[in-house]
Amino acid sequence: MVIEKQDVVIVGAGAAGLMLAARLAEGGQSVTVLEAGPERKLNDLVSSQIWARKLKWSEPAVSESGDHKIGHAFNAGSGTGGSALHHYGVWLRMHEGDFSLNSNHGVGLDWPLDYAALAPHYDRVQSEVGLSGDSVQERWRPQGAPYPMPPLPLFTQSRLLAKGFEKTGRHTAPLPLAINSEPYQGRQSCQYDGWCDAGCPIGALGNPLVVWLPRALAAGAKLEHNARASRVIRSAKNTQLIESVEYLQDGERKTIQADRIIIAAFAVQSVRILLSSATQQHAAPGDHSDKLGRYLMTHPAATIFGLFAEETYPHQGVTAGQLLNHDDYDKKDAPGGFGSSQWMIGHAIKPHDLLGYGTNRPDITGAALEPWLKRASRHLGNMTLVCEDIALPDNRITLSEKVGPEGIAYAHAHHDLDATAAARWTQRMSEGADIMRAAGASEVWSGPRIGQHIMGGAVMGEDPAESVTDAFGRVHDTDNLYVAGPALFPSSGAVNPTFTISALASRQADHLLNQ
Amino acid sequence: MPASLNRRQLLSRSTAAGFFMVAGQWLWLTPQEAQARAFEPQILSPDQCNALSSLGDAFVPGAAAGGIAAYIDLQLQAGDDSLLIGKYLGVDTSAQTGFYRAAADNVIALTDESTSLQTFIADMAADSLSNWAGPPASYVLFVLRADALDVVYGTPEGFDTLGIPYMAHIKPEKPW
């Protein structure tokens, strides 16, 4: 069946793609979303860390290089909801200083917009999704509407760790979360079981299946699953116009035409699709100045663990954690390194899987293991450091030499961590160990430094010579091709990106509807 | 797996249990049951299964009886849909079969009945095994130990052993 020409085709059914589908369809546009992965429903979200791996991007695998890899297999999702289906719901606003890194500090890139331009969209989206938090205690928060729900209750582990921050002269506040602390818009409240990574089937966590998908479908948007976009195709008559998306579905190569095309396929696949769209006659859309794929970013992050005499019940709560510390966030130039940093405190944690406490003590094996696990299951505390990455041009997404059986090129991601950002990470990790000991931990250790969240690759900017898209995500050398999602970010800040992804998409939606 | 089932049908039923070849018949079993019934591996050789089982059990007691070899062999059959933790740790699904075969072959080549597995593990952790081939031994240790943790403690029963309430919204199919 050939789908008739649409007003809008969106590639990717994640946080940005499904929000845009909902808003544009509600605005009277005909919308089709192409999603590479399978249809996901709430009853697919089985409470198991092993089953949870089904939700992640698998093939075509992204090859990686560099001294601080992006961790695509853990960070990227597949299927309805994308990576937002298994995200942990930490919804933090970027701070004002995150938007002008180059102007203020001479490093990285500036955004072509400031916090004030996004603020009304942060406010609108937090009401639509439902955020819990305390905007008064969160003293570092930029100006904005109060959270619609009170914060989640504080569990034993977090109360204990908060003492470490207090004793070292630091402040904590409830972590703002897209998780219901009370029933909200027909969705029930959280049950604090820590299965967030496996996806929340009860609607307490505001994933795209429960927030945007129902609205998109009610407004007439269509979703095509197992529809893997291979490239976009320029009009032969007007090369500024992108007339269609080519995709593979059911073993067939198909195309769908639209007046406007939005690539919202998460950072790596969005760039892959654009790079694959180059022809002998024309460079890839957005690659007019060799910036497509560049400025790839991932937050350097790590978890610190401690064992306490007190019982902490670390299975309770939510995977994201319960408390936040941003005391150092706006001190990007502080001695010892460069960049913002944050602590997320008190994760609900499992004994196994990538983030599990058993996994992060490979030195303990054999007969000693189970007694240790039993002790950790009742006496563990943990918190995660997230530091800022700096956009560097040689950190980039390229097409790999490897081509899949369907003719789709694989992507390669190269990422090295800037030395000053690495120094900041080392500095804060040392401080974190001190905080953990101040809280009373008798034994303190940390997991490895990992890449958390993926951003950049199709950065927005005022100057087409230095960016891929304009301030509304329109690819510079086209009239009607847009990028949405974290690929647009010219800087990473040190906050989880989903709130900013959503606010940007909200702003894009308004722009597209007003054109 | 049975020729009458395609991979999507196989995986739609369960990622915990699966079809295992036992005495020439395909049977729907858990990895633990498959191990107990001397399943016939489809990707790994019996010797490779034994090696991974022994090493996994040395990392995490209970992994052998829990069916770690059967679990790995089953997931390797799934190809792109493998749920082994290796894909988070840099072992893409396309590379997993080679990874586990190489790991097992190293154990077969470098151990015998007199080998202390705890000493062997210490040498793996230190990357001090001079004839170890392929990915670093310490890396293999991390990955295989994580698999063993999955098998033994990544289940409601494993949680129960540790005194943790499982609190499932949707319970995984037994017997995890």
* Start-to-end Cα distance in chain A: 31
- B150 vs A201: CB contact, 8 Å cut-off? no
Q: Under an 8 A CB cutoff, do A59 and B80 touch?
A: yes
In the predicted structure, residue B8 carries a pLDDT above the cut 50: no
- Using the Cβ of B125 and the Cβ atoms of chain A, whether some distance falls under 8 Å is answered with yes
Amino acid A95: pLDDT: 98
- Minimal Cα–Cα distance from A190 to chain B, Å? 11
Would an 8 Å CB–CB cutoff place B120 in contact with chain A? Answer: no
pLDDT value of position B1: 56
**Considering chain B, what percentage of its residues have pLDDT values greater than 90?**
60
Nearest to B162 among A71, A191, A373 (CB): A373
- Please identify among residues 55-114 of chain B the ones whose CB lies closer than 8 Å to any CB of chain A: 58-61, 80-81, 83, 85, 87-90, 92-94
C-beta atoms of A374 and B162 within 8 A: yes
CA distance B40 to chain A (A): 23
Q: What is the DSSP string of A82-98?
A: GGGGS---B--PPPGGG
- Residue-level pLDDT at A495: 98
Residues of chain A contacting residue B159, judged by C-beta atoms under 8 Å apart:
351
Instruction: Give the model's pLDDT for residue B9.
Output: 43
Count contacts between A and B (CB, < 8 Å): 134
Residues of chain A in contact with residue B89, where contact means CB-CB under 8 angstroms, are 354
| Cβ separation A54–B81 shorter than 8 A | yes
- Return the bridge partners of A445, or none: A305
Question: d(Cα A201, Cα A280) in Å, to the nearest integer?
Answer: 47
Tens digit of each residue's pLDDT, chain A (515 residues): 678 999 999 999 999 999 999 999 999 999 999 999 999 999 999 999 999 999 988 778 899 999 999 999 889 999 999 999 999 999 999 999 999 999 999 999 999 999 999 999 999 999 999 999 999 999 999 999 999 999 999 999 999 999 999 999 999 999 999 999 999 999 999 999 999 999 999 999 999 999 999 999 999 999 999 999 999 999 999 999 999 999 999 999 999 999 999 999 999 999 999 999 999 999 999 999 999 999 999 999 999 999 999 999 999 999 999 999 999 999 999 999 999 999 999 999 999 999 999 999 999 999 999 999 999 999 999 999 999 999 999 999 999 988 887 888 899 999 999 999 999 999 999 999 999 999 999 999 999 999 999 999 999 999 999 999 999 999 999 999 999 999 999 999 999 999 999 999 999 999 999 98
Does residue B3 register a pLDDT over 70?
Answer: no
ipTM above 0.90, yes or no: yes
Residue A60 confidence (pLDDT): 80
Tokens of B136: 């670093």
Task: Collect all residues of chain A within an 8 Å Cβ-Cβ radius of residue B65.
Answer: none
Distance CA A426, CA A300 (A): 10
Q: What is the pLDDT of residue B6?
A: 45
pLDDT at residue B174 in the model: 53
pLDDT per position as a tens digit, A395-428 = 999 999 888 878 888 999 999 999 999 999 999 9
Q: Choose the closest CB to A51 out of B153, B162, B172.
A: B172
Q: Considering only CB atoms, which chain A residues are within 8 Å of B121?
A: 365-366
User: Which pLDDT does position B176 carry in this prediction?
Assistant: 37
Other residues' Cβ atoms within 10 Å of the Cβ of residue A477? 19
Judged against a pLDDT cut of 70, whether residue B4 lies above it is answered with no
Q: Which residues of B touch A200 (CB under 8 A)?
A: 169
pLDDT single digits (tens) B90-143: 888 889 999 999 999 999 999 988 888 889 999 999 999 999 999 999 999 999
Residues A357-371 pLDDT 10s: 999 999 999 999 999
Spell out the SS3 assignment of A332-384. CCCCCCCCCEEEEECCCCCCCCCCCCCCCCCCCCHHHHHHHHHHHHHHEEEEE
Assess B172–A contact: CB distance below 8 Å, yes or no: yes
**pLDDT digits over B35-64, tens only?**
888 888 899 999 999 999 999 999 999 999
pLDDT of residue A289: 95
Which helix (H) or strand (E) segment holds residue A63: the answer is: strand A63-65
- Distance in Å, alpha carbon of B31 to nearest chain A alpha carbon: 14
Q: Which of B72, B80, B83 to mutate to test the interface with A (most CBs of A within 10 A)?
A: B83
Closest approach of chain B CAs to the CA of A195, in angstroms? Answer: 8
How far does A114 lie from chain B, in Å, by closest CA? 35
pLDDT value at residue B33: 85
Q: Using an 8 Å Cβ cutoff, are A31 and A10 in contact?
A: yes
SS3 of A114-148: CHHHHHHHHHHHHHHHCCECCCCCCCCCCCCCCCC
- Pick from B150, B169, B171: CB nearest A202: B169
Q: To 10 degrees, what angle do helices A15-26 and A498-514 make?
A: 30
Residue where the block lists tokens 């966030």: A329
Chain B residue numbers with beta carbons less than 8 Å from the beta carbon of A378 are 163
Residues A383 and A172: beta-carbon distance below 8 Å = no
Q: Which residue in chain A has the smallest CA separation from B139?
A: A362
How far CA A65 is from CA of A69, A71, A395, A400, A417, in Å, comes to 6, 10, 10, 12, 12
Predicted pLDDT at A1: 66
Tokens linked to A14 = 């994640």
For range B78-90, the mean pLDDT: 89
